[in-house]
Amino acid sequence: MTLEYLQNYWWLLIAILGALLVFLLFVQGGQSMLLGTSPVRRDLIINSMGRKWELTFTTLVTFGGAFFASFPLFYSTSFGGAYWLWVLILFSFIVQAVSYEFRKKQGNVYGTKTYDIFLFINGCVGCILLGVAVAMFFFGAQFTVTRTNLLDSGSPVISQWVSSHGFEAIFNWRNLVLGFAVLFLARMQAAIYMMNNITDDPKFFANLKRKAFINGAVFVVFFLWFLGILLTAWGYTVIPDAFGTQTVEITPYKYFYNFCEVWQAGIMLLLGVALVLYGWARSCFAKKYTQGIWFTGSGTFLVVVSLFCVAGFNNTPFYPSLIDPASSLTIRNASSSEFTLTAMSYVSIVIPFVLAYIAYVWYSMDKKKLTPGELETTSHKY
């Protein structure tokens, strides 16, 4: 395996982990629906989401770990640079992790409502800011990478970022369009997931249907908006030279061309969008249909993989620098060494096994659906 092959392979794995993460954000979507619902409904939503939250959380951790291991220059540049963006994402996940377990426990000091607000915050902030973080793969950021800084004892940091350290990315409207698209996608999927996961409550089912419809419609608006921006945006094309340096050129309609030239990504995008729309429409309009989550879920997965593909493949820097194009991160210059990528590739053989046991556990646990009655009898609930 050549280094190039390994870099492509790992970018694809990152894409797959990212796509799984976006699909699993339905947990956050559910949390974002908590405020303004009756206590009984809230319990039901939380107990439905609560049996999956660890999976989303673990995927986020693994996504971070895998990104670190395979593209450490990204980890170094983005996390240390867009400091506030990442710290706010982290905060929202700290308060999430405890809230499920603590919310109904006696002695939780701050009361159920506080923990529900924590979950709500994570639901909204987590989705929007992760969307913002991904949007930066296309719309770039203001940073420089100067490796020789390492030899400057007074100021040895190689990655430098504008002094707003992430706030500029959060308040960039193009990034926010994707952020809101992710939020409403997650909300739509949460509704469709609960239609599948909760049974014995026809009124709630009807309510979920309405939620799926509205959130899905808003998602479609934001997503098409994002797609419009993306397909008309300029991007960089990187031309590497023999001495390991790179020339970077501006290409109009870069991502549109990428979808055409990396045609597999184009097909995944179209197929993914079709699956999401099908799952959404059938969930909203068929009378008792509960399997929509599998269509919207796999559609979401394909769309996100395709977005990562056009962000990183076809000589495209996946982290464009707006102030110094030559500093832009590509899957070539940001990656780990051939040795590490090879070692990690052997480890990646476990991924199918991990997915298999997750699927098996999911199947075993979801075989019996959640009912409102169960919450009164079960020994462990949130």
Closest listed residue to residue 315, CA positions, set 237, 204, 222, 258: 237
In 286-316, alpha helices (H):
292-312
Which residues pair with residue 240 across a beta bridge? 246
User: Does 9 help bind another protein (rule: CB under 8 A)?
Assistant: no
Nearer to another protein, 38 or 155 (CB): 155
Which one of residues 87, 267, 274, 323 is an interface residue with another protein (CB under 8 A)? 87
CB under 8 A: which stretch of 93-101, 125-133, 248-256, 263-271 binds another protein?
93-101
Contacts to another protein from residues 237-296, by CB under 8 A = 243-244
Q: How far apart are CA 368 and CA 200, in angstroms?
A: 12
User: Does 80 help bind another protein (rule: CB under 8 A)?
Assistant: yes
Contacts to another protein from residues 158-187, by CB under 8 A = 158-161, 163, 165
One-letter amino acid for residue 174 of the chain: R
User: Does 372 help bind another protein (rule: CB under 8 A)?
Assistant: no
Provide the mask over 31-70, with x wherever binding to another protein is found by CB under 8 A and - wherever it is not: --------------------xx-xx-xx-xxx-xxx-xxx
Contacts 24+ apart (CB under 8 A), 106-110: none
- Sequence-distant (6+) residues with CB within 8 A of 72 are 334, 336
CB under 8 A: which stretch of 193-201, 216-224, 279-287, 362-370 binds another protein?
362-370
Total residues found in the chain within this entry: 382
Compute and round to an integer the Cα radius of gyration of the chain: 21
User: Does 361 help bind another protein (rule: CB under 8 A)?
Assistant: yes
Contacts to another protein from residues 101-160, by CB under 8 A = 101-102, 105-110, 147-148, 150-151, 153, 155-160
Minimum separation from the CB atom of position 266 to another protein (A): 30
User: Does 189 help bind another protein (rule: CB under 8 A)?
Assistant: no
Longest dimension (CA), the chain: 69
User: Does 2 help bind another protein (rule: CB under 8 A)?
Assistant: no
User: Does 23 help bind another protein (rule: CB under 8 A)?
Assistant: no
Minimum separation from the CB atom of position 145 to another protein (A): 9
User: Does 81 help bind another protein (rule: CB under 8 A)?
Assistant: yes
CB under 8 A: which stretch of 257-265, 286-294, 317-325, 340-348 binds another protein?
340-348
- Sequence-distant (6+) residues with CB within 8 A of 137 are 307, 308, 311, 312, 318, 319
Cβ neighbours of 288 (radius 10 Å): 7
Q: How far apart are CA 203 and CA 205, in angstroms?
A: 5
Q: How far apart are CA 318 and CA 140, in angstroms?
A: 8
